[in-house]
Amino acid sequence: MTVTGSKPLAGYRVLDLTTFLSGPFCTQILADLGAEVVKLEAPEGDSSRHIPPHFVGRDSAYFLGINRDKKSIAVNMKVPEGLALVRKLIAESDVVVENFRPGVAGRIGLDIESIRKELPRLIWASISGFGQDGPFRDRPAYDMIVQALSGVMSLTGEPGRPAVRLGIPAGDMVAGMYAAIAVNAALADRERGGEGRHIDVAMLDCQLAMLSYQSTYALVAGVTPQRQAARHDSIPTYRSFVGGDGRELVITANTERMWRSLCDVLELSELPSDPRFASGDKRLINREALWVLLENAFRARPAADWIEPLAVAGVPVALIKTVPEALSDARESGRGMVMELVKDDGTSIDVVGNPIKFVGVEEEAGRYPPELGADARAILDSWLGLDNTHVAQLLACKAVQWRDPVPQ
């Protein structure tokens, strides 16, 4: 049975002072979980609104993919009235998320320490490249910078060739996910009687955490992990292969049973008794010779023809899908991972949906990402109770701006 219920963070207010990707991804997660997220932008808007090459109306596809279920207000913090307005909105927030470079918030008039003294229950999440302290705190950071500095890029690519960045912006998105986890933990602590927290999430720290067993190999064994290509450092039958049609597939035969089943399907039943491949450690030592035999066997059929027999035999297997193919599969899966967002004027886009599902709760349609400043009047009313006279004064001094005139 499915029921419609309130989302876990319903009733919490989040003021989003972030731009580009790490911060907006964090606040989209919080919005997906039910928080009321107000995206506070400069008059020109979040820079990601303008990233080419794909646009729907005036906003980029990049922006539209990470800002659903939010509201927007555009405030000029360079005028005193604008800065005062931001401080009032902070006072009405449960959570503030920002990804300024350390020290910038204080320079623009938002001293974090003094604000938290005034508002001890406020949760303030700072996402930065290198953290609020440390030798690199003042350096700008982008996704590929932290992929490089963390060692992640050194693992990505083919042996003997230059390193490549991951095809997804993991430096940004992992930091956004860790920040969202931390915000939820801080809210839980506050509900148990604790006070607010200042959360310090560094993109570089998050990438280091994602090194997983590779970092342990380096720390414990003193080795330098090399380019991974499409294989595993410890399991030679955990890698990609090419079928006879040139299409790629992956197998992850990481147990003895799977290894024997793989050999049976590939009609290589003699391999398990070959002394070179009789155990996992021997297969690892002799992996180059093993790969030649497996590669030749896989080329006997088109890649897709191997999927069913290997799956039936209990060998984990998959074709390497293109992004459109993966999204088509997701659309057909029934799990809501391709979501249609519809704007008031009828404009609609498809985006990747919320991966967090609550059993028995029917998923609601998402809200189209906001036009710049589109929700200002409603926010000033519901958050601050400002009447038309006060709003007119803010407009007159250019503290608040809209892209288009809003009917009064």
Q: Where are the domains of the chain?
A: 13-211+333-401, 238-319
Nearest-angstrom CA–CA distance, 372 and 237: 51
pLDDT surpasses 50 at 2: no
The 10s digit of each residue's pLDDT in 48-73 is 999 999 999 999 999 999 999 999 99
Long-range CB contacts for residues 262-270, cutoff 8 Å, separation at least 24: 262/237, 262/310, 262/313, 262/315, 264/313, 265/306, 265/309, 265/310, 265/313, 265/315, 266/294, 266/297, 266/298, 267/297, 268/293, 268/294, 268/297
Instruction: Output the pLDDT for position 404.
Output: 56
pLDDT surpasses 80 at 199: yes
Q: Which CATH code is given to the segment(s) 238-319? A: 3.30.1540.10
The 10s digit of each residue's pLDDT in 118-155 is 999 999 999 999 999 999 999 999 999 999 999 999 99
281 contact partners, CB below 8 Å, separation of at least 6: none
Q: Report residue 341: phi and psi, to 5°.
A: -115, 130
Strand ordering across the sheet containing 238-242? 238-242, 248-252, 317-319
The residue from 50, 54, 198, 232 that is catalytic is 232
Cα–chain center distance at 204? 15
pLDDT (mean) for 292-304: 98
Nearest-angstrom CA–CA distance, 104 and 19: 14
pLDDT surpasses 60 at 348: yes
pLDDT (mean) for 226-254: 96
Nearest-angstrom CA–CA distance, 110 and 108: 6
Q: Which CATH code is given to the segment(s) 13-211+333-401? A: 3.40.50.10540
Its pTM stands at: 0.94
pLDDT (mean) for 327-350: 96
- Secondary structure of 4-59 in the HEC alphabet? CCCCCCCCCEEEECCCCCHHHHHHHHHHHCCCEEEEEECCCCCHHHHCCCCEECCE
The 10s digit of each residue's pLDDT in 129-139 is 999 999 999 99
pLDDT (mean) for 17-23: 97
Instruction: Output the pLDDT for position 388.
Output: 92
Instruction: Output the pLDDT for position 5.
Output: 57
Q: Residue 362 — very low, low, confident or very high, per pLDDT cuts 50/70/90?
A: confident
232 is catalytic: yes
Q: Across the chain, what does the average pLDDT equal?
A: 95
* Preceding amide of 53 cis, omega within 30: yes
pLDDT surpasses 80 at 408: no
Indicate the SS3 state at residue 323.
helix
Alpha helices in 195-322 (DSSP H): 203-209, 213-216, 256-265, 280-285, 287-298, 303-312
